[in-house]
Amino acid sequence: MRRPAGRPVGQPGPVKPFSPGEPVATQGFSLPLSRWRRRPESDPALGFAFYPQAAGDLVAKCPEKAAPLLHLPLPEEPPRLLLRPPFYCSPDQAEGLPRGEQLRPLLAALRHAGGHGEWHLFDGSWQLTLQLPEPGRRPEAILQAILRQLALPVASLTPPPDSIAIRHLMAQLPERLGTSGHQEGWLAALAGGSAEDAQWVARQLSLITAPVNPPMPAPAPCRRGVERLVYPGGDTALLVFIPLPDGASLAALRLLAQHCEPLFFQRLRVEQQIGYVVSCRYQRVADRDGLLMALQSPDRRAGNCCAVVKTFCASWPPWMRRPSDRYSSAWPLRSAPAGRQRRGRCPPCVRSMVYQS
């Protein structure tokens, strides 16, 4: 059988002409056609702008007065300014987080000027660290805008819970330790830089409406008791904080923590296999030094976790109890329904927090 005369096999048929702008249906899409033009070999320069742009035009003032400033000279170190609220008066997370969002555009402007800034938590207390650029590039307007921003109110922002129970419990501990009210003012210190740098920074600090380096408040008493909180996960977490008593030796506390750390891990993690988070260490939280014990278990209840910590503290030898019974006394803990907050008997100044699913 002969193939009829016509187009050879595999040869495409004639191309149908299309007009520019006419739509073509292909693979389920309707695409408009246009004439092809050769693209230039190099694109025109793009006007990039750094994010964020909310700093705006800043105008610097020329302050004549100077605020009290602690200066720690460090040879060949750039000037670094530290600002923080007074002791025992640090804001909680609901206020600290939006404060960071408020400062973010100005800290970005400081970075573009050759400096660096960070608003962050340090040992449970919020603080602002500003590394200033070289003396010839002093950003007066940016620094003054940052200082004015510290006096503005912020809207409260509730942070979401951490996915790990013990981390979320640690974040809750600083604000649940304090009992003192809010004190106006800021503590300021300059590390590094010359005496001329310190004088310049002190004049800028005089623009703060709140007191700078006010008198040191008396040590605030630590809130005590046992508090139970509900956590959406399935684990149980326990946090016990024993603050250093007034007049006690910090060196003795750190030696005690160093002695207890391996014993706590060996007994509760290796031998009893309580959970995957077992820690006993020295910790400074919200301007208070103390001994911190942390547990997180997937299968132990809150009462059982408290009981094993009580047993561990009761096993301390007499020489460890002698400095203060507040270190070694264990406390009875009765069971309570999940979600109910209750203060139980505990030794003076001991703060315990439990997450129970």
Whether residue 201 sits in one domain with residue 163: yes
Residue 266 is predicted with a pLDDT of 93
Whether residue 239 sits in one domain with residue 195: no
Q: Is residue 160 part of a domain?
A: yes
Whether residue 196 sits in one domain with residue 89: yes
**Is the CB of residue 246 less than 8 Å from the CB of residue 253?**
no
Whether residue 150 sits in one domain with residue 274: no
**Is the CB of residue 72 less than 8 Å from the CB of residue 192?**
yes
Whether residue 201 sits in one domain with residue 74: yes
C-alpha–C-alpha distance, residues 222 and 284, integer Å: 13
Whether residue 82 sits in one domain with residue 201: yes
Whether residue 163 sits in one domain with residue 131: yes
Q: Which CATH number is 313's domain given?
A: 3.30.830.10
Q: Which two tokens stand for residue 4?
A: 């009829």
Q: How far is CA 242 from CA 166, 228, 292, 350, in A?
A: 17, 17, 7, 5
Helix (H), strand (E) at residue 203: helix 195-205
Whether residue 149 sits in one domain with residue 233: no
Whether residue 249 sits in one domain with residue 200: no
**Is the CB of residue 266 less than 8 Å from the CB of residue 224?**
no
Q: How far is CA 187 from CA 191, 206, 210, 213, in A?
A: 13, 13, 10, 5
Residue partners of 103: CB distance under 8 A and separation at least 6: 117, 119, 128, 146, 149
Q: Is residue 98 part of a domain?
A: yes
Name the DSSP letter for residue 269: I
| Domain span at 242 | 225-319+349-355
Q: Is residue 128 part of a domain?
A: yes
**Is the CB of residue 150 less than 8 Å from the CB of residue 212?**
no
Whether residue 190 sits in one domain with residue 76: yes
Q: Is residue 304 part of a domain?
A: yes
Stated pTM of the model? 0.69
List the pLDDT tens digit at each of the 357 positions of the chain. 455 555 555 555 565 666 767 788 888 788 888 877 777 666 666 666 665 555 556 667 778 889 999 999 987 888 999 999 998 888 888 888 999 999 999 999 899 888 999 999 999 899 999 999 877 778 888 999 999 999 888 888 887 777 888 888 888 888 888 766 677 889 999 999 889 999 999 999 998 888 999 988 777 777 787 888 777 777 888 999 999 888 888 999 999 999 999 999 999 999 999 888 999 999 999 889 999 999 999 888 888 888 999 899 888 777 665 444 443 333 222 222 233 333 333 344 455 655 554
Q: Is residue 164 part of a domain?
A: yes
Q: Is residue 188 part of a domain?
A: yes
Strands 70-72 and 29-32: unpaired
Residue 341 is predicted with a pLDDT of 33
Whether residue 273 sits in one domain with residue 190: no
Helix (H), strand (E) at residue 320: helix 318-321
Q: Is residue 97 part of a domain?
A: yes
For Cα atoms 151, 156, 162, give the angle at the middle one, nearest 5 degrees.
125
Q: Is residue 245 part of a domain?
A: yes
Name the DSSP letter for residue 316: S
| Count of the separate structural domains present in the chain | 2
C-alpha–C-alpha distance, residues 320 and 328, integer Å: 8
C-alpha–C-alpha distance, residues 92 and 99, integer Å: 11
Helix (H), strand (E) at residue 95: helix 93-112
Torsion of CA 148, 150, 155, 158, to 10 degrees: 160
**Is the CB of residue 183 less than 8 Å from the CB of residue 86?**
yes
Q: Where are the beta strands (DSSP E) in 210-319?
A: 225-230, 236-243, 277-285, 288-297
Whether residue 280 sits in one domain with residue 194: no
